[in-house]
Amino acid sequence: LTVRALVLGAGGFIGTHLCRALAERDYEVVAVGRSRKPMVCGGNEGAISWVRGNFADRKLLQRALEGCSVAFHLISDTAPALSNADPSADVRETVIATVQFLELAKSSDLKRVIFVSSGGTVYGIPSQVPISETAPTDPLCAYGINKLMIEKYLALYHYFHALEYCVLRVANAFGELQSTHHQQGVIAAFMKATVNGEPITIWGDGSVIRDYIYVGDVVDALVKASEVADLSHRVINIGSGTGMSVLDVANAIQDISAHRLEKCFTPARKVDVPEIVLDIGRAKQVLGWAPSTPWQTAIERTYRWYDLHARDRVREQLGPICLPG
């Protein structure tokens, strides 16, 4: 029996990869996004129905939900560093629309919602690393607050309406297709600068440590979260489980590119907590998931893609975007 899956935020970085992966696994995919259908060559594209529209559009969502047993919620309207400039933007745009979506889900065929939360922001400044899912959640950006709020609403709908859910608190995802907008995605920003022969910008001294996880592994976790029968925990960290400084990342890219990177240091941002490394033990236990793409493989694959799609084509997506393998 074919499973029909709804992907909300299907035109974004993770969303595009997810749709392709689901289609390859013979899901019927209803892909909802604000932009035109992303042109990604290869894969089983025929299995993806593209619905262009806004997540807050009740009628559109109601139609899109028809026959779907699982939904992936990958929507945010802003990004960590920018969210504090208009701290209620995501409340207005995303949280309220999510509650509306959950209300619609009550009277639909939907059995489970998989939500991409933010392992990098919901915890705030951790008192210890690696951070487990039971650590305090004190976000230092509106983006993180809103992710957390949606997590709580999912728990509410599970409690009252038996709607299954799984929250993946994803660390710093990277890989092919990631845009450099919104000051999010340091690897994407560094690679884009490198292939264009521009200096890379480092906030602070480059000692900030993050947990970088390849998008292919994130997609693997998303699919597992939708398929695993017994969700003994519903809030699960997804990361590499290891930390790497921004300088380490810059050096790794320099090694691949064989160029000497010019580093431009700018003042540290208060929104950047010093260290995030996620404890991924629960993901192994509940989902049977662990990252399977070695760092070197992932970073080389990603670099190749940026090199191929150098300059304007990265954003404007003038032609079909080719994903490897």
The contact set with a copy of itself (CB under 8 A) reads: 84, 87-88, 91-92, 95-96, 99-100, 102-103, 134, 136-142, 145, 148-149, 152-153, 155-156, 159-160, 270
In the complex, the smallest distance separating the C-beta of residue 156 from a copy of itself, rounded to whole angstroms, is 7
- Output 5 or 208, the one with its CB closest to a copy of itself: 208
Sign of the torsion angle spanned by Cα atoms 81, 238, 214, 249:
positive
In the complex, the smallest distance separating the C-beta of residue 214 from a copy of itself, rounded to whole angstroms, is 30
Phi then psi for residue 88, to 5 deg, are -110, 5
Closest listed residue to residue 235, CA positions, set 166, 155, 136, 149: 166
H helices, E strands: number in the chain? 12, 15
- What six digits make up the tokens of 51? 């619905």
In the complex, the smallest distance separating the C-beta of residue 147 from a copy of itself, rounded to whole angstroms, is 11
- Output 100 or 245, the one with its CB closest to a copy of itself: 100
- Output 132 or 254, the one with its CB closest to a copy of itself: 132
In the complex, the smallest distance separating the C-beta of residue 216 from a copy of itself, rounded to whole angstroms, is 32
In the complex, the smallest distance separating the C-beta of residue 142 from a copy of itself, rounded to whole angstroms, is 7
- Output 273 or 323, the one with its CB closest to a copy of itself: 273
Residue 295: exposure state from Cβ atoms within 10 A (0-12, 13-18, ≥19): middle
CA distances (Å), origin 205, targets 183, 193, 265, 272, 314: 17, 18, 7, 12, 28
Given the DSSP bridges, would you call strands 28-33 and 4-8 parallel, antiparallel or unpaired? parallel
